[in-house]
Structure 1
Amino acid sequence: MASSDSTENTQPATWNGRPIPPRPPLPAAEPSTDERPAAPRRFIGMPPGMQAELDTVPAGERHVPAPPAPPENVDAADAPVLVFPGDKRVALTGSILVGRDPGPHDGYPDAALVPLGDRSVSKTHAVVQFSRGGVWVTDLGSTNGTNIVDLAQRETVCVPGVATAAYAGGGILFGTVLATLAPGDSDGGL
C-alpha cells in the first residue's frame, strides 16, 4: 500500500534538499450555473472609482479665465518699470509683449513689442500689463516658461494663459532672462 500512495502523490517530497509541506485539499467545486454576474461598467482611460459623466468637464463647457481689465492710461512717471539686462528699461504704461522677436497678438492688439535677443525666450513669450494697481504677467505658451520672482528669490511658475501678479521689487524670469520690477521714475519709457 505504501507504494500505491507514493505513485499517486506527484508532488516531490523535497525541494533543494528541504521538505515540502503537504498541499491543502481543494475546496469542493460549486455547481455551475449559466447565469454570470454582469461585469461592472468601466470607462477606458478613467481611474477606478471615477465616473466620466461626473468627474470630467466636456470640452465645450471649459471655463477660460478672462485676462485682467485693460490697462488704464498711466502717466509714465507713475508707471512701474521693467529693467532688463543691459539696463534696458521699459515703463509699463500699457501692455507689452515680450519675446525673442515678438509679433502682434490677437488678444493684445495695442501692446508694445519688446524684443529680447536670447534663445531661451520664445518668439512671443509673454505679455506684461499694469492694471488695477498691480503688474500682471501672462505666459503665452512659451517653451521655457515664465516665472515670477519674489523678494526672497522664490520662483512662482506662470500657468500659460493665466494672468499672475508680480511682486513690486521682485522680478520676472522670461526663460533665463531676468527682468527686475522697479517703481516708476522719470527715466522709464518705451
Structure 2
Amino acid sequence: MADAPKPLLIKRYASRRLYNTETSDYVTLEDISGFIRDGREVQIVDLKSGDDLTRQYLLQIIAEHESRGESVLPISVLNDLVRSYMSGDVSVVPQFLQTSFDMLRDGQSRVLENMTAMNPMAKMPGLGVMQAQQEAFMKAMTGGWGAGGTTSKPAEPPEEEPDQNEDLDAIKKQLADLQSKLSKLK
C-alpha cells in the first residue's frame, strides 16, 4: 500500500495569521476549508511553540459554517457530543465517530471503483434484447450499408474514381430495397 501524502503544513504566526508553507502565502480559514474539501489533509502548528492546533482550527471551521446557517451536524448529534464529553467518563464517541467516517469513506470509494470498473447499464434486464433490436433496426434502415451496420471501421477509399452512373444506380437499388423492407415492417 502506498504511503499517504504528507499533510499540508500551515504555520500560525504570533499575529494569528496562517501561512501555507507549500505556496509561501497567507491563507484564511475558508482557504483551509477548501483544501480539505479538495481531499487534502492539513496540519496547523504554532510557529513559536510547535503545538499542533489542527483540531482547534477544524472545530472553528465547523463553528463558522454553523453560524452562517449551514447545518453541519444535527442538534441531536451536537447534544450527544457535549453530553459525552462533559460526563467525566471515558467516552467511546471519538472512536465510534472515527470508525464510522472510515467506513463511510471506504464505502464511497468502493462504490466509485465499482461504477468505473463496470458499466452499471450492463446488468440492466433486457439490455441484450434492446441492443439486438437496435442493431436489426439499423441494419434494416441502412440496407446493410457499412458491412453489417455495426462495425466502426471506415470503408477503404477506392483506388480509382468510380463511375458516377454506377453509384447512382447502386443508390437507387439500395433505396428501393430499403423501401421494400420498411413496407414489410408495417
TM-score by length of 1: 0.22
Using CA pairs below 8 Å that are at least 6 residues apart, which structure has the higher relative contact order? 1
Higher strand proportion (structure 1 or 2): 1
Higher helix proportion (structure 1 or 2): 2
TM-score by length of 2: 0.23
